[in-house]
Amino acid sequence: MKDIRTRAVHVINEPQAEGSRPLSVPLVQSSAFAFDSAAELARAMAGPDGPYVYSRRGNPTVRALEHTLADLEGGQSAIAFASGMGAISGVLLALLRPGDQVIAQRCLYGGTYAALADLADRYSVEVRYISGDEVAEFESYVGPRTRLLLLETVANPTGRVPDLPGLLAAARRHGVIGAVDNSLASPVLCRPLELGADIVLHSTTKYLAGHSDVLGGAAVFADDALRRRIWPRTVELGAAADPFAAWLTLRGIATLPLRMREHCANAALLATRLEAHPAVTAVHWPWLPGGPSYAMARKVLSGGGGLLSFELAGGREAGQGFVEGVRLARLALSLGGVETLVTHPASTSHRELDERALELAGIGPGLVRMSVGIESPDDLWRDLEQALTGA
């Protein structure tokens, strides 16, 4: 198989323009497709593949993105969605029924956590949370009603990496579907299907698209049978990817390996400098030697990624002061784009948690999360240093 740097550039270019072969994937910005006969249209409506009918069910530009994502993750097929949450909700709603059980990592993205809480509250789905470090924890909960194991390659903002190979193997032994949200690592740093996952989930909004200009999500399947089972439910849900969003995402993917290299190199340098700074009491980045997930990160990732977090000695006030004091980095909630972003989780994404709950989630009052971009690391460090002094 060709290297991922080659595959990211030479995307599967399915749509054609009157026999010619454009270098860029054509944007088919059409909601519906015309037919000559009712019988032909009826045949086309039979399943997920075949001629395009209506873009909520399938579209040539979206299909090109789906083929590309499946190829990058080493899966048989994929479904692209309007957002990462569209992909996660679509998969959860398609696979779960009342009375089923989900086993999930405790430190999940907040939106996923809220979707699971809603499923538990309104649809009687039981959710059990595990740390992700011990297979025994999974074994203590798994039973005949367990349908799904839900993990994230790298937890946000703590940088913890669960025992992906151990947990996914245990899920397989028990006939439980293993799903991994790989948004933070991207297929450049980790391919969960190779570690035993059945489904890889993505917020393509993040590193895959990479330019903070488009929302998107995806589910990639090790076995196409699972896509065929899930597809009718996702068509009902209606969180289909828009062709232009798919086109922008494909455009971003061409430079994904290149960008990931810079994100990782910049994060490594900043993590080391932050560790040595007197205002900083702890730095969390998966590839930082001595960290709690360092051994697992070296085993399942090929780089530390661009997301790091650090704890300021001055607590909540210092954290807030820092994110308001940066001049080059921007205070914004997303991650994975070319520009550096910072947030203070205790006062924003996790503001509803009290001090005890924050501690359980591994989020100190002075914790700052940083999505390290691809700017010059020296310019970034100068900005961080002045903001650290101010905070």
Ligand X SMILES: Cc1ncc(COP(=O)(O)O)c(C=O)c1O
Residues that bind ligand X in the complex, under the rule CB under 6 A: 83-85, 109, 111, 152, 156, 181, 183-184, 203, 205, 215, 217
Residue whose entry in the numeric block shows the structure tokens 């994100």:
263
The single residue of 57, 109, 242, 259 carrying the catalytic annotation is 109
Residue whose entry in the numeric block shows the structure tokens 């489904």:
199
CB of residue 18 vs ligand X: minimum separation in angstroms? 35
User: 238 by DSSP, 3-state: which?
Assistant: coil
Annotated active-site residue 206? The verdict is yes
Residue 38 gets which letter from DSSP? H
Q: Which residues contact 139 (CB under 8 A, 6 or more apart)?
A: 170
Residue 192 gets which letter from DSSP? G
* Residue closer to ligand X, measured from CB, 52 or 221: 221
The single residue of 160, 191, 206, 369 carrying the catalytic annotation is 206
Return the exposure string of 244-272: e unless at least 16 CB atoms fall within 10 Å of the residue's CB, then b: ebbbbbbbbbbbbbebbebbbbbbbebbe
What is the CB neighbour count within 10 angstroms for residue 126? Answer: 16
Residue whose entry in the numeric block shows the structure tokens 């080493």:
74
CB of residue 88 vs ligand X: minimum separation in angstroms? 6
Annotated active-site residue 109? The verdict is yes
* Residue closer to ligand X, measured from CB, 277 or 350: 350
- Could you tell me if residue 16 is left (phi over 0), alpha (psi between -120 and 50 degrees) or otherwise beta? beta
* Residue closer to ligand X, measured from CB, 181 or 198: 181
CB of residue 1 vs ligand X: minimum separation in angstroms? 27
Residue whose entry in the numeric block shows the structure tokens 């569209």:
86
The single residue of 5, 7, 43, 56 carrying the catalytic annotation is 56
CB of residue 72 vs ligand X: minimum separation in angstroms? 17
* Beta carbons of 104 and 92 less than 8 angstroms apart: no
Annotated active-site residue 382? The verdict is no
Q: Which residue is nearest to ligand X (CB)?
A: 84
CB of residue 325 vs ligand X: minimum separation in angstroms? 24
* Residue closer to ligand X, measured from CB, 197 or 391: 197
First to last CA, the chain: 50
The single residue of 181, 198, 242, 383 carrying the catalytic annotation is 181
Tokens of 255: 């430079």
Nearest-5° Cα angle at 153, 134 to 355: 70
Annotated active-site residue 21? The verdict is no
- Rounded to whole angstroms, how far apart are CA atoms 178 and 197? 5
- Could you tell me if residue 52 is left (phi over 0), alpha (psi between -120 and 50 degrees) or otherwise beta? beta
CB of residue 348 vs ligand X: minimum separation in angstroms? 12
Residue whose entry in the numeric block shows the structure tokens 């002075």:
366
Catalytic residues: 56, 109, 181, 206
